[in-house]
A and B are shown apart, each in its own frame.
Chain A
Amino acid sequence: MKKKADVVIIGGGVNGTAIAYRLAKAGMDVVVVEKKYLSSGATGKCGAGIRQQWSTRENTELSIQSVRMFETLSDELKMDIEFRQGGYLIINHDEKELKQSEKNVEMQRSLGLDVSIIEPSMIPDIVPVLDVKGMKAVGATFCPTDGHANPFLTTFAFANAARKHGATIYTHTLVEDITINENRIASVETSKGSIKTSWVVDAAGVFSKDIASLVGIDVPNKAYRKEVLATERLQPMFQAMVISFKDGVYFSQQQEGQIVGGIPIPEEKVGYHTMPTFSFLQHMSQTITRYVPLLKQVNMLRHWTGFYDVTPDARPILGEDIKVKGFVHCHGFSGHGFMLSPMVSKILAEYITDGKVSPVLERLTLERFEGADLTQEQNVVG
């Protein structure tokens, strides 16, 4: 194992590998430590969606810029990440949701996003298989530049490009301790040896809280169990991701043809339990066949459990810690880490290489939770 590095990134998910790529490209000596295999955590379990329709300005800005990067990422990384823009159709079920949508669309449009409010009668023009009455839709919003990419391939593409620029990635390697010298990161102790470094990036997803606690930092994140199912492959039927905040459901058809989607588990509890449940399957099947009746004849192949690393305001925690110098937070994505990764990795890499502080970074510090006035992200599904 390498004895020293400029930066040690903990976590081989999409954010860890993306930051590794950007730092290595900028000429830094980078090591990634992953306790299992690449994309083994939330990245590899996620629903693959990429959306820009949010209720908070920070998430909207980050995601608009991320989408612009996703558009050219396959070329940049020289590997097809299966990015495609079929849009996101957000179904509204009552007046309250319609009012929130109007507010959101106004804010989103002010940031330059192409998004509009859709009448119920127009919904089948976008996703013909939807049953407008069955899902009790009173309206919807649609953004045509939202979309999907393959989370595994995106992670591998970032990792391969990072390696080409000289980064070293250790999989099946556990971080056991982090040492500090005069409030500055000094080394990372792993199951395969010790690495001297002055920077650590905590991109360990749901385990970020444990990593932060190694240097005495308490983060307010909680692990929320989520389940996702995948059907057999079908001919292409629709392009858009369909979601509903009220029902909590999301689903889309992936490039290979399978329908992938999720919904909150009825008896969901906070904590780390990985066993999938039958009640999820039943609840999801009842909901998705109400939205798309023809799916009743379609076979489900598998379902799995993943985790949201959730913060009190459902927005990520990003940037260098104020107490422990060199410790960089990159967690708390609350279910949206994959779609924000291109921009998040750019902002954090620029901070580490040049000390550049972007305005978004200033609003997403850990310290915001000490204040009383939190802006809650409302647009959360799954």
Chain B
Amino acid sequence: MRKHAIVCRCEDITEQDVIDAIHQGYTDLEELRRRLRIGMGPCQGRVCISLVKKILEKETGQRVSEESFPTSRPPLIPISLGSLAKKKRGKE
């Protein structure tokens, strides 16, 4: 039975997509991320990575350490380029 539950809402990736990629040989959280773009959307992995970790552990039978979680990239929440481009007050 195919597993249609959405794992990554930003990139529209299902549990089955993750399972298929694992069986193609992408057995590293970082490689799965780069293959499927999991964790590269607006949530930056906060929603999906723990779920992907569980699927990976189930499919490979091996524990995945939290140290192997993909690097957290700044910023914490999306921010507009216009806000970032603003000059500091008084330095105009």
Interface residues of A (CB under 8 A from B): 36-40, 44, 152-153, 156, 160, 163, 171-172, 230-233, 256, 276, 281-282, 284-286, 288-289, 295-304
Q: Interface on chain A toward B: helix, strand, loop, or mixed SS?
A: mixed
Q: B36 to chain A: closest CB distance in Å?
A: 10
Which of B35, B74, B84 has the most A CB atoms < 10 Å from its CB?
Answer: B84
What residues of B have a CB within 8 angstroms of the CB of A288 in the complex?
A: 81
**In the complex, residue of chain B having the shortest beta-carbon distance to the beta carbon of A169:** B25
Tell me whether A152 and B35 are in contact (CB under 8 A). Answer: yes
Tell me whether A40 and B80 are in contact (CB under 8 A). Answer: no
How many Å lie between the Cα of A19 and that of B75 in the bound state?
37
Closest 9 CB pairs of A and B: A296-B82, A302-B73, A285-B84, A152-B34, A299-B78, A285-B85, A285-B81, A286-B85, A37-B28
Count of A-B residue pairs with CB < 8 Å: 81
Q: Does any Cβ of A come within 8 Å of B31's Cβ? A: yes
Tell me whether B78 and A301 are in contact (CB under 8 A). Answer: yes
CB < 8 Å neighbour of A300 from B26, B34, B80: B80
Tell me whether B84 and A301 are in contact (CB under 8 A). Answer: no
Tell me whether A297 and B28 are in contact (CB under 8 A). Answer: no
Query: How many B residues have CB within 8 A of the partner chain?
Result: 25
Tell me whether B30 and A37 are in contact (CB under 8 A). Answer: yes
Tell me whether A298 and B34 are in contact (CB under 8 A). Answer: no
How many Å lie between the Cα of A231 and that of B79 in the bound state?
9
What residues of A have a CB within 8 angstroms of the CB of B71 in the complex?
A: 304
Q: Please, could you name 24 A-B residue pairs with CB atoms under 8 Å apart, sorted by A? A: A36-B30, A39-B34, A40-B30, A152-B34, A153-B34, A156-B26, A156-B34, A156-B35, A160-B25, A163-B25, A172-B28, A231-B81, A232-B41, A281-B84, A282-B85, A285-B82, A285-B85, A295-B82, A297-B82, A298-B81, A301-B42, A301-B44, A302-B75, A303-B73
How many Å lie between the Cα of A338 and that of B74 in the bound state?
25
Tell me whether A296 and B80 are in contact (CB under 8 A). Answer: yes
What residues of B have a CB within 8 angstroms of the CB of A44 in the complex?
A: 34
**In the complex, residue of chain A having the shortest beta-carbon distance to the beta carbon of B73:** A302
A232-B42, A286-B87, A299-B80 are known contacts; what are 20 more A-B pairs with Cβ within 8 Å? A37-B28, A38-B28, A39-B31, A39-B34, A40-B30, A172-B28, A232-B78, A276-B73, A281-B84, A282-B84, A285-B82, A285-B84, A289-B85, A295-B81, A295-B82, A297-B80, A298-B80, A300-B81, A302-B40, A302-B73
CB < 8 Å neighbour of B79 from A233, A286, A295, A299: A299
What residues of A have a CB within 8 angstroms of the CB of B26 in the complex?
A: 156
Tell me whether B82 and A300 are in contact (CB under 8 A). Answer: no
What residues of A have a CB within 8 angstroms of the CB of B37 in the complex?
A: 256
Q: B28 to chain A: closest CB distance in Å?
A: 5
How many Å lie between the Cα of A233 and that of B30 in the bound state?
21
What residues of A have a CB within 8 angstroms of the CB of B87 in the complex?
A: 286
What residues of B have a CB within 8 angstroms of the CB of A296 in the complex?
A: 80-82, 85
CB < 8 Å neighbour of B74 from A38, A233, A303: A303
User: Given A299-B79, A301-B44, A302-B74, A37 and B31 touching (CB < 8 A)?
Assistant: yes
What residues of A have a CB within 8 angstroms of the CB of B82 in the complex?
A: 285, 289, 295-297
